Structure 1
Amino acid sequence: MTNKDNFLYPKGRYYGQVKPENLVFNANLQEFAQKVSYICNLETSGKIPPEEAYEQIKALWKDLKRSKKQLGIGEDPFRPDDNTGSNGEN
């Protein structure tokens, strides 16, 4: 069973900055790419219509964006939010 899962759902090695949130996001990104590939193949082979493929990919993209936001990827932890009462000076 493990060999089949590794074949169907390969995971690439992560070479970026090793932090828990980066590793989780990388796993989510690889899963997104794998699912998009399956959806594209199904659409190309005529198994699902283009509109359905688009909607499925759009939903996956929203999930990935939500994951990025929840994990705080790309945010500067030392930069205050605009609504924290700062006077806007940098």
Structure 2
Amino acid sequence: MSTKFDFLYPHSSYHGKVKPENLVFNANLQEFAQKVGYICNLESNGKISGEEAFKEIKILWKQLKESKKLLKVGEHPFQNDEAK
């Protein structure tokens, strides 16, 4: 039986190339998707306006882009790890 935490904050296994920066970005991406889902539900139920939802999602998107940039995910996709 799953806990309330598992229900509210589900996570999926990572299936990409296992590198610390990829794992961190994957966690950030899953958190982004979950928060966007919450925001969409709040807007759908009339708790926040569409404009407010858009602003919140835009902020989350900028944070996700910044994390990708800081982690340098995907900058050299064809570079061998051994070549570093």
* TM-score between the two structures when normalised by the length of structure 2: 0.87
User: Whole-Å Cα distance in 1 between the matches of residues 13 and 78 of structure 2?
Assistant: 29
Percent identity, aligned pairs only, is 68
Gaps of 5+ in 1: 80-90
User: Whole-Å Cα distance in 1 between the matches of residues 10 and 76 of structure 2?
Assistant: 31
User: Whole-Å Cα distance in 2 between the matches of residues 77 and 33 of structure 1?
Assistant: 24
Deviation above 4 Å: which 4+ runs of structure 1? none
Q: Which residue of 2 aligns with 1:4?
A: 4
Q: What secondary structure is seen at the aligned counterpart in 1 of 2:3?
A: helix
User: Whole-Å Cα distance in 2 between the matches of residues 74 and 28 of structure 1?
Assistant: 15
RMSD: 1.8
Residue 13 of structure 1 deviates from its aligned partner by 0.6
Residue 55 of structure 1 deviates from its aligned partner by 0.3
Q: Which has the higher helix share?
A: 2
- CA change 1:45–1:11 in 2 (3 A) is same
Give 1:1-90 correspondences, 5 Å limit. Answer: 3-76=3-76
Aligned residues: 78
Compare relative contact order (CA 8 Å, sep 6+) and give the higher one, 1 or 2.
Answer: 2
* TM-score between the two structures when normalised by the length of structure 1: 0.81
Gaps of 5+ in 2: 80-84
